[in-house]
Amino acid sequence: MTTPTYEIFAIKYARRDALRANHFVGGDPHDAPMPMDYFVWLVRNEERTFVIDTGFTAAMAEQRKRQYLRAPREGLALLGVRSRDVRDVVITHLHYDHVGTYFDFPNAKFHLQDEEMSYATGRHMQHRQFGHGYEVEDVVGMVRMVFKGQVAFCSGSAELAPGVSVHHIGGHTAGLQSVRVFTRRGWVVLASDASHYYEHMEAGRCFPTTFHLGQVIQGYDTLRRLAESPSHIVPGHDPLVMERYPAPSKELEGIVARLDVMPVEHRGNT
């Protein structure tokens, strides 16, 4: 049978200013700006719709001093998707910027790695190095979803539908997962925080908020194995995503990037 193809969209909902030294283990000798974008992702075709992560709220943006552009549900609405109609949400990990508006998806099943729930509710959260990326109410909220029967746990790799699968990577958090999607240009991998920026994977460097450095580095090889090519891997927070991929319409420029087409610098090779 032919594998169905999907459209993929990166929806930008927040940003923050930062320096290069903020983004690499060991710092960086160049004292230059390196801003961070925050995304949620939409994967869809005529039969199925998946939302990847749910972002954070305006209140959390104020608390953590991020520039809030729009609620993730509002970004999805620009593409004709109502959050209350979504039936499948992949939570790549439980950090505040990936799960913080889960309540806007009341009818969804949340796909989460077993190891991420264990990690976020276990002994490591006593230490700021590991716990500072989590918000207690987000984690407790997802535990409530478990008791409501709205969490589908995965352990390792799992196919959610033909052409869409999740893959445990670890590293950044113990239970981080990335998402592999079949598109008209082949297999695309939404790395999420398995590689925050293109440079992390390309240079073999690590983001400072990390549970296991070895898993991060090994994870780069996993991403490459899962993707059609390195240009089919999409990092989790890099502003270059919005530059390299086109908007689906002129009105959505700077807000949404379409990822099921080749990035700009590679189109001549297709």
DSSP secondary structure code for residue 184 in this structure:
T
- Contact criterion met (CB below 8 Å) for 13 and 40: yes
The answer to whether position 77 is within a domain reads yes
Given a cut of 60, whether residue 116 has pLDDT beyond it is yes
The answer to whether position 221 is within a domain reads yes
Using CA atoms, how far residue 209 sits from 8, 11, 32, 75, 204, in Å, is: 27, 23, 20, 27, 15
Strand partners, 188: 181
List the CATH number of the domain containing 210.
3.60.15.10
If one counts the domains in the chain, the total is 1
What is the per-residue pLDDT across 93-114, written as a single tens digit (0 to 9) for each? 999 999 999 999 999 999 999 9
What is the per-residue pLDDT across 3-26, written as a single tens digit (0 to 9) for each? 999 999 999 999 999 999 999 999
The answer to whether position 108 is within a domain reads yes
The answer to whether position 157 is within a domain reads yes
Mean pLDDT computed over 124-132: 97
Q: Name the pLDDT band for 264 (thresholds 50, 70, 90).
A: confident
What pLDDT is recorded for position 1? 75
The answer to whether position 239 is within a domain reads yes
CA distance 222 to 249: 33
DSSP secondary structure code for residue 33 in this structure:
B
CA distance 218 to 26: 19
Question: What residue has token string 């700021």?
Answer: 128
Q: Name the pLDDT band for 37 (thresholds 50, 70, 90).
A: very high
What pLDDT is recorded for position 82? 98
Given a cut of 90, whether residue 140 has pLDDT beyond it is yes
The answer to whether position 21 is within a domain reads yes
CA distance 39 to 53: 8
**Structural domain that includes position 260:** 7-264
CA distance 173 to 165: 19
Given a cut of 50, whether residue 47 has pLDDT beyond it is yes
Mean pLDDT of all residues belonging to the chain: 96
Given a cut of 80, whether residue 80 has pLDDT beyond it is yes
Given a cut of 70, whether residue 250 has pLDDT beyond it is yes
What pLDDT is recorded for position 26? 93
- Contact criterion met (CB below 8 Å) for 104 and 73: yes
The answer to whether position 2 is within a domain reads no
The answer to whether position 270 is within a domain reads no
Mean pLDDT computed over 160-177: 98
What pLDDT is recorded for position 270? 39
Given a cut of 90, whether residue 51 has pLDDT beyond it is yes
* HSE-CB of 215 using CA atoms within 13 angstroms: 16
Q: Name the pLDDT band for 266 (thresholds 50, 70, 90).
A: low
